Structure 1
Amino acid sequence: MRRRNVPKPSIAAVQGKCIAGGLMLCWPCDLIVAAENAEFSDPVVHMGIGGVEYHGHTWELGPRREKEILFTGRAVTAEEAEQAGMVNRVVSLDELDSAAMELAWQIARMPPFGLRQAKRAVNQTLDVQGFYAAVQSVFDIHETGHGNALSVSGYPILTQLEDMKEHIRKPGGG
């Protein structure tokens, strides 16, 4: 949350696979520019954990899409992320750095006080809608997931699907 609330605008430039912790690095940024090859995923359910330290998922992708992502472990393409409003723009990999820098230069020309106030206004609006409380609450779910994984497998994450096979029911009751 500290990174999210830094007074100056921040921009993430994402290419390739952005997995779990990578999401926690780009989501607190104010703007995200993604290369066409960017894919966003969070395999926490594979590890037997239902939440993460910075659970921006529902806010970033919406509840239905995020449930699908978490339940299946599939990745979101850069195009899907843009359609959901998670990234601001998608550019070719060759243009990623220049597109992010051009956006940064455009923002840098704005009055600093106005930028700080605009960022604060948006972040406070999200918090009034429950963002901060949701992130804190899901962190508790995350910690409970580690405790469960430890009790099931002896490790703070489930390391293999085999660790959970007794909990998986096959279609038809098998």
Structure 2
Amino acid sequence: MSEYRYVDYETADAVATITLARPEKANAQNERMLDELHHHFLAAEYDDDVKVIVLRGEGRHFSAGHDLGGGDPDPDAVSLAEADGSWQLNKIYRWEARKYLGYSWHWRNIPKPTIGAIQGKAIAGALNLIWPLDLLVVADDVEFSDPVVLMAIGGVEYHGHTWELGARRAKDLLFTQRTLGAEEAVQIGVAREVVPRDQLWERTHELAAQIAQNNAFGLAQAKRAVNQTLDVQGYYTALQSVFDVHHTGHGNAISVSGYPILMQLDEMKQNLKKQ
């Protein structure tokens, strides 16, 4: 990829910093942003001088999730619609299996510690970026949410919710569309610590630099030990199963309205503003 529009990348002191750089759209993720993000994660993964990876977002919010509003299209993006404007579930499934679940699963298994610096809103598809990370430092204004039940879908593609939140809290967030704030996130172990918004990046990089002092192979082994324990318990099997459940939502929408998302976006946005 010769030109980067939406994601910045830099390295210093054994830490790679990946920055979502579309603040005017609240870092909403279009296809090009996801491809750039994956490219930078790969660069950090295969750079022997990098021991720790930090993911952060410019602007008021970490990410508003998937870019569902159109606009600013990438001419190289693949259209999932048929020539007559109809939608085929098999195309959507294959695309999301690669760009959503596939990318996120790869990031989760990079053999280097990954740290997220999360501020403001982290909505729905933002969790596809957050759940794969190893540690989170959050600003005091952070709000995690996954309100896609409003679109007749059971949750986003990388469904780490139950593992991260516990069964009843995961259901609560999905059923009510409420947000998970900073103090609650720390209390239940989702986030490592809460810091004032203006100290978020500095504190995250202090933590990254501290971890980068360790032996790289030792860090990789420690991460693998924890991830393998989750996998033995069925983590990936559960993710794949719920990914299939997610696509029954798309199939239902296509059968009812001919479009992969059943509910009108304007109505969803109005509901979110009331929260």
- TM-score, length of structure 2 as denominator length: 0.57
Q: 2:160 pairs with 51, 56, 76, which one?
A: 56
Once the two structures are superposed, what CA deviation does each residue of 1:87-133 show, in whole Å capped at 9, x if it has no partner? 11111101101110011001000111100000000000011111111
Q: CA contact under 8 A between 1:36 and 1:92: conserved in structure 2?
A: yes
Q: 1:6 pairs with 104, 110, 114, which one?
A: 110
Q: Residue 13 of structure 1 aligns to a residue in which SS? A: strand
CA–CA distance in structure 2, aligned partners of residues 80 and 42 of structure 1:
16
Q: Residue 187 of structure 2 aligns to a residue in which SS? A: helix
- TM-score, length of structure 1 as denominator length: 0.90
CA–CA distance in structure 2, aligned partners of residues 55 and 66 of structure 1:
10
CA–CA distance in structure 2, aligned partners of residues 78 and 46 of structure 1:
24
The CA deviation at 1:78 is 1.2
CA–CA distance in structure 2, aligned partners of residues 111 and 35 of structure 1:
29
State the partner residue of 1:140: 244
Q: 1:32 pairs with 127, 136, 139, which one?
A: 136
Give aligned-pair identity as a percent. Answer: 66
Q: 2:192 pairs with 74, 77, 88, which one?
A: 88
Once the two structures are superposed, what CA deviation does each residue of 1:56-89 show, in whole Å capped at 9, x if it has no partner? 0001111111100000111111111111111111
| Unaligned runs of at least 5 residues, structure 1 | 164-174
State the partner residue of 1:152: 256
| Unaligned runs of at least 5 residues, structure 2 | 1-104, 268-275
Q: Which runs of 4+ in 1 moved over 3 A?
A: none
Q: Residue 171 of structure 2 aligns to a residue in which SS? A: helix
Q: CA contact under 8 A between 1:10 and 1:29: conserved in structure 2?
A: yes
Q: Does 1:122 align with 2:200?
A: no
Which letter does structure 2 place at the counterpart of 1:55? Answer: H
Q: Residue 104 of structure 1 aligns to a residue in which SS? A: helix
Higher RCO (CA 8 Å, separation ≥ 6 residues)? 1
**How many positions carry a matched residue from both structures?**
162
Q: Residue 155 of structure 2 aligns to a residue in which SS? A: coil
Q: CA contact under 8 A between 1:52 and 1:138: conserved in structure 2?
A: no
